Amino acid sequence: MEKAKVFFTKEITTDSLRRIYKKLGVELKGKIGVKVSTGEDGAKGYLKADLIGPFVKELNGTILECNTAYPGSRNNKEDHLKTAEKHGFTSFAEVDIMDEDNEFKIPVKNGRHLKYDIIGENFKNYDSIINLAHGKGHAMGGFGANLKNQSIGIASRNGKAYIHSCGQTEDPDKCWSVDYEQKDFIESMAEAAKAVADYLKENNKPIVYITIANAISVDCDCDCNQGDPVMEDIGIFASLDPVANDQAFLDAIWNSNDPGHTKMMERVDRQVGRHITEYAESIGLGTTNYELIEI
């Protein structure tokens, strides 16, 4: 397979975010949705308004979220919007909790674990998508970047339960008590991310992938007790290929000279996290073979 282009800059500013987006050469049309994590109340690492706000505002983008499957400050629309406001997201864009009223199923093709993916109903309303991820660790997935942001992130509350249980239940109250193999959960995330990519392609809706690797904690922004960063900021990655973009982020952690990178590597491998890119590649979502282009 041909190498995917992954653009990279060490500079983490609004200007460098604008520049790297332009390098992708895709003009997003119509109503633009920007999928980010608004962060659990108590988390610290979520992408901050002063960094991404001007960029999202210039594109007239809407922040896209779905409610969480776990109890917390974002498992219903009212609390979720309060948390988004507290974290500054409503100061620069409308925030759409896409599963506030309903959800719909999209097919998973050739999945080992999922028959379908369940995503927020309002996702239908957008003509173009920016998958704007924060690169960090994750207690369950090992790490979170574009693939996680596209799978768990775009899934409705029930859809998250379905992914977390590897296709065994859509009930958020039951999904945490089912038995599953960790590798199967990682593969379920990849299958859900592929389903979203297929849905967008079939409906002629473009998507671009950007990961901002700053404030890199071993914990996710969904953790209300998120730990402090364990290594230095890396930079911004951007691609039209989510697999390549996640792979570039992982490789940057592994190749870092920062002594704290061992903590990130341990967290990722403890959860079989690196398997997501190879499995996503095997089901045709993208390629792990990329060319890193520094801007």
Tell me, yes or no, if the pTM score tops 0.95: yes
- Rounded distance, CA 188 to CA 272, Å? 13
Fold of domain 4-294: Rossmann fold (3.40.50)
pLDDT digits 0-9 by tens, 179-237: 999 999 999 999 999 999 999 999 999 999 999 999 999 999 998 989 999 999 999 99
- The β-bridge partners of 213 are 235
**Which letter does DSSP use for residue 165 in this model?**
T
Q: What tokens were used for 64?
A: 């896209």
Helix (H) or strand (E) holding 71: none
Q: What is the percent of the chain with per-residue pLDDT over 70, rounded to a whole number? A: 100
Could you state, in order of their start, the residue ranges of all structural domains in the chain? 4-294
178 or 79, which is more confident? 178
- pLDDT band for 263, please (50, 70, 90 cuts): very high
What is the structure's pLDDT at 180?
96
CB atoms within 10 A of CB 62: 19
8 A C-beta contact, residue 223 and residue 139: yes
What is each CA distance from 106 to 20, 120, 170, 186, 227, in whole angstroms? 31, 11, 14, 19, 35
Phi, psi dihedral angles at 76 (to 5 degrees): -150, 160
8 A C-beta contact, residue 191 and residue 113: yes
What is each CA distance from 47 to 132, 150, 205, 243, in whole angstroms? 9, 16, 25, 21
pLDDT digits 0-9 by tens, 65-90: 999 887 778 888 888 999 999 999 99
pLDDT at 1 over 80: no
Residue type, 72: G
**Which letter does DSSP use for residue 211 in this model?**
E
Alpha helices in 104-236 (DSSP H): 146-151, 157-164, 182-202
- State the distance between the two ends of the chain, measured CA to CA, in whole angstroms: 24
Phi, psi dihedral angles at 141 (to 5 degrees): -95, -5
What is the structure's pLDDT at 72?
79
